[in-house]
Structure 1
Amino acid sequence: MNKVFICLSSILLFLFSSSFFVVKEGERGIVLQFGRVLRNHEQKTLVYNPGLHFKLPFLETVKMLDARIHTMDNQADRFVTKEKKDLIVDSYIKWRINDFNRYYLATGGGDIFQAEVLLKRKFSDRLRSEIGCLNVKEIVTDSRGRLTTDVLNALNKGTINLEKASSINVNSMNALGIQVVDVRIKQINLPVEVSDAIYNRMRAEREAVARSQRSQGQEKAEKLRATADYKVSIILSQAKKEALIIKGQGEAIITKLFAENFSNEPYFYYFVRSLRAYENSFKNNGNIMLITSDNDFFKYMNKMITFEK
């Protein structure tokens, strides 16, 4: 009895635990019965919010779908503008599930990779169409925000359905159960071959401007240097002129003083001149002078010798 009770209790416990499932925060759950999505009496998909829920064991299975916002980075691709110029555009998309039933069926069981493949294809086509209607200036300036807004609306709404405007457009992402939250362009570049040509042209232009500036600077430097040299030569010549005038005036004053003093004492004047002559004659510069000792040249020297004796 105990074994039977334990077995029955285990089976009941297993059935009871299999009858409940937990949906985590950031997820939504849909219940499948024999592979079909359960719907309510209004034929709307039953979507289970985070929390504890009940299901029929073995007959129903639960599929968890991520309800958070996803970010899909697109590989930089080449696009052609209205003036037939190539641009390399790098962008990303933010999206989330807004219809779990459509999303589950369109992606083959809720495969995120499959959803992003479909989204990337439609986004690339729509962005290519929008960029083809704009020129480069409009894309990189004020029309950049309008460009992403138009792509976002086109992805969510698709083209207008004239027969039944209230129905979901098959060309929109809503047909896949996806809502595009945001579209952003991260970077717009020119192709490598075009950018290299532009950079080379800009470099050549800048080098030409630099050469022109350097030549103008050298010309101005030469003019300033010539002006400075001219002013220096004028200042030096004027200074030399003033120096010669001052020197001449000084020599004239000295000559006058000597003349006045020597005129008052002529004997002293002759004596000083003889001393200077002795000094210049007896310098050891290799010259030889032959003269008799009783010559008038040695007059004052003979007197000095006599005086010493």
Structure 2
Amino acid sequence: MSNRSIGFFAALFGVLLILGSSLFIVSQTQQAIVLQFGELRRVIQDPGLKIKIPFIQEVTIYEKRVMDFDLPATDITLGDQKRVRVDTYTRYRINDPIQFFKSVKPANEFGTARRLEALVGSTVRNVLGKVELRELLSEKRSKIMHQINTEVKALTKGLGLEIIDLRIVRTELPPENRPAVFNRMNADLQRYAKQNRANGDEKAQEIRSTAEKERTILLAEASRDAQILRGEGDAKAIATIAETMGKDPEFYGFYKSMETYDAIVGSETTLVLSTESDLFKYFSHPERVLR
């Protein structure tokens, strides 16, 4: 092979080497940053064939897709001093590659996992350390998870990471602690039931006392109103009697005698009276009635 042919192939190899070092591809699921001597030059978000300065600039590719991080099972002491083993599952993505490159060292999946392990682990431990086991196993669980998500999102915002979701996959008691925890929970529930019953009895007594007080007041008011009405009736009756006596005293005597007859006749009381008695004057002298 002649020197010209060798030179041609060497030049062709050099051109191909330069082109290979100058061109790179960014797929639709990726984003890239271009560094020159370790300093950031540009960010590439659009997919396609891209160009860089060979041997001077280097490219770091990051995922755009949502990625997963599983925190290893962690033993946590809750607010009621019960220990549980918690597994968490985090979904995240890199939404700011520049901030991610500056904040996470090394700026790769390993460095991300290390930072998330520290941040998620400490947040879960701090939040769950203030709640009780029965709260974690009740409808309050969603509120607790919302608090954990909010705090982790705030902590990772400065890392160029966006937390999509964070969940507690499993919560269980360590095997060696289960009997003691179950006994303690049973005692707590019994105490809670007794307290509820005591509160119920107190409330019932309060309701009964209030009802009895209201009953006494109503009866007193009803008795007062009855006395008033009775007094008004008696006053009207006395006025009517007085008016009748003034007009016809003989008729009034007849009316009162009829009332007396009605009370005596048919009663079990035996009275021996003379027919000349004033009480029976209307029997012995009926002409007085017709007069």
Whether these two folds match at TM > 0.5 is: yes
Counterpart residue number, 1:183: 166
- Specify the code of the residue in structure 2 equivalent to 1:24: S
C-alpha distance in 2, partners of 1:151/1:37?
34
Query: CA offset at residue 185 of structure 1?
Result: 0.8
Indicate if the aligned counterparts of 2:35 and 2:57 stay in contact, CA closer than 8 A: yes
Paired residues, what number?
A: 182
Query: CA offset at residue 133 of structure 1?
Result: 2.4
Counterpart residue number, 2:18: 15
Counterpart residue number, 2:59: 62
Query: CA offset at residue 5 of structure 1?
Result: 3.8
Deviations 1:205-243 (A, max 9, x none): xxxxxxxxxxxxxxxxxxxxxxxxxxxxxxxxxxxxxxx
Q: Is 1:38 aligned to 2:41, yes or no?
A: yes
Query: CA offset at residue 47 of structure 1?
Result: 2.7
Query: CA offset at residue 15 of structure 1?
Result: 1.9
C-alpha distance in 2, partners of 1:109/1:83?
39
Which of 112, 116, 120 is the aligned partner of 1:115?
Answer: 112
Q: Is 1:106 aligned to 2:103, yes or no?
A: yes
Counterpart residue number, 1:164: none
C-alpha distance in 2, partners of 1:6/1:201?
83
- Specify the code of the residue in structure 2 equivalent to 1:184: R
Q: Secondary structure at the match of 1:141?
A: coil
Counterpart residue number, 2:47: 50
Query: CA offset at residue 183 of structure 1?
Result: 0.7
C-alpha distance in 2, partners of 1:23/1:84?
51
Counterpart residue number, 2:136: 139
Residues 1-309 of structure 1: pairs in structure 2 closer than 5 A: 1-39=4-42, 46-157=43-154, 172-197=155-180
TM-score, normalised on structure 1?
Answer: 0.54
TM-score, normalised on structure 2?
Answer: 0.57
- Specify the code of the residue in structure 2 equivalent to 1:191: P
Query: CA offset at residue 198 of structure 1?
Result: 5.7
C-alpha distance in 1, partners of 2:98/2:128?
33
Q: Secondary structure at the match of 2:79?
A: coil
Indicate if the aligned counterparts of 1:76 and 1:90 stay in contact, CA closer than 8 A: yes
C-alpha distance in 2, partners of 1:179/1:106?
14
C-alpha distance in 2, partners of 1:90/1:36?
39
Question: Against the structure 1 CA distance between its residues 13 and 113, is the aligned structure 2 distance closer, same or farther, given a 3 Å change threshold?
Answer: closer
C-alpha distance in 1, partners of 2:152/2:14?
51
- Specify the code of the residue in structure 2 equivalent to 1:193: E
C-alpha distance in 1, partners of 2:12/2:143?
65
Question: Against the structure 1 CA distance between its residues 128 and 199, is the aligned structure 2 distance closer, same or farther, given a 3 Å change threshold?
Answer: closer
C-alpha distance in 2, partners of 1:200/1:152?
32
| Structure 1, 121-130 or 101-110: larger mean CA deviation | 101-110
* Structure with greater Cα Rg: 1
Indicate if the aligned counterparts of 1:29 and 1:49 stay in contact, CA closer than 8 A: no
Indicate if the aligned counterparts of 1:67 and 1:97 stay in contact, CA closer than 8 A: yes
